Structure 1
Amino acid sequence: MSDSNAVPTSLIRGLGLIAAISIVVGNVIGTGVFLKARVMTCNVGTPGLVLTAWIVAGLLSLAGALTYAELAAMMPQAGGEYVFLREAYGSRLAFLYGWMQIFIAKTGSQASVAVAFAIFLNVLVGGALDHQLFSLDLFGRRFSLGPLQLVALGIIALMTLINCAAVAISGRVATFLTGIKITLVLGVGLGAFLLAPGDWTHFSASDMGGTCVGVEETARMGLAGFSAAMLGALWGYDGWNNITLVAGEIKNPQRNIPLALIGGTIIIILLYVFVNAAYFYVLTPTEVASVSPNSSVATEVTRRFLGSLATGLIAAALMASSVGTLHTSILTGARVPFAMARDGLFFQSLAKLSSRSRVPTGALIAQAVWASILTLSGSFDTLTDYVIFGSWIFYGLTTSAVFALRRRLPHAPRPYRTWGYPIVPALFLLATVWLLVSTLLTAPLRSLIGLGLIALGWPVHWYSSHRQRP
Structure 2
Amino acid sequence: SLALLSAAGVALLGVLWAYEGWQNVTNSAGEARDPQRTFARGIGLGTAALVAIYLTANAGYVAALGAAGVAATDRVAADVVRTLFGSDAARVVTLVILVSIFSAANGLALTGPRMYFAMARDGVFFRSLADVHPRFGTPALAVAVSALWAMLLAVSGTFEQLFTYVVFASWIFAALAAASVFVLRRRRPDAPRPFRVPGYPVTPALFIAAAAAIVGNTIVARPAQALIGLGIVATGVPAYFTWTWHRRRRRE
Question: What TM-score do you get using the length of structure 1 for normalisation?
Answer: 0.49
Q: Which residue of 2 aligns with 1:458?
A: 237
**1:388 to partner: Cα distance:** 3.7
Aligned-partner Cα distance in 2 for 1:233–1:445: 20
Match of 1:449 among 208, 224, 228: 228
Q: Which residue of 2 aligns with 1:341?
A: 120
Alignment partner of 1:304: what SS?
helix
**1:297 to partner: Cα distance:** 1.9
Q: Which residue of 2 aligns with 1:256?
A: 38
Instruction: Sort the Cα spacing of 1:413 and 1:350 in 2 relative to 1 into closer, same or farther, 3 A.
Output: same
**Computing the radius of gyration over CA atoms, which structure comes out larger, 1 or 2?**
1
8 Å Cα contact 1:346/1:464 also seen in 2: yes
Aligned-partner Cα distance in 1 for 2:31–2:49: 23
**1:243 to partner: Cα distance:** 0.8
Map 1:146-157 → 2, pairs under 5 A: none
Instruction: Sort the Cα spacing of 1:272 and 1:426 in 2 relative to 1 into closer, same or farther, 3 A.
Output: same
Map 1:2-21 → 2, pairs under 5 A: none
Q: Which residue of 1 aligns with 2:184?
A: 405
Match of 1:281 among 51, 63, 67: 63
Question: Does the alignment pair 1:292 with 2:64?
Answer: no
AA matched with 1:365: A
Question: Which stretch shifts more, 319-328 or 222-231?
Answer: 222-231
Aligned-partner Cα distance in 2 for 1:299–1:230: 22
Map 1:21-420 → 2, pairs under 5 A: 222-289=4-71, 291-293=72-74, 296-375=75-154, 378-379=155-156, 381=158, 382=161, 385-420=164-199
Question: What TM-score do you get using the length of structure 2 for normalisation?
Answer: 0.88
Instruction: Sort the Cα spacing of 1:226 and 1:451 in 2 relative to 1 into closer, same or farther, 3 A.
Output: closer
Q: Name the structure, 1 or 2, with higher relative contact order (CA <8 Å, separation 6+).
A: 1
**Structure 2 alignment gaps of length 5 or more:** none
After superposition, the CA RMSD in angstroms is 2.1
**1:413 to partner: Cα distance:** 1.6
CA-to-aligned-CA distance 1:333-380 (integer Å, 9 cap, x gap): 1101100110111111111112222211121122223333444xx215
8 Å Cα contact 1:279/1:298 also seen in 2: yes
Aligned-partner Cα distance in 2 for 1:369–1:286: 39
Higher helix share: 2
Aligned-partner Cα distance in 1 for 2:233–2:25: 23
Aligned-partner Cα distance in 2 for 1:373–1:431: 31
**1:308 to partner: Cα distance:** 1.4
Instruction: Sort the Cα spacing of 1:233 and 1:366 in 2 relative to 1 into closer, same or farther, 3 A.
Output: closer
CA-to-aligned-CA distance 1:400-439 (integer Å, 9 cap, x gap): 1111111111121222311111111111111111111110
Map 1:418-433 → 2, pairs under 5 A: 418-433=197-212
Question: Which stretch shifts more, 379-388 or 308-317?
Answer: 379-388
Number of equivalenced pairs: 246
8 Å Cα contact 2:27/2:114 also seen in 1: yes
AA matched with 1:310: A
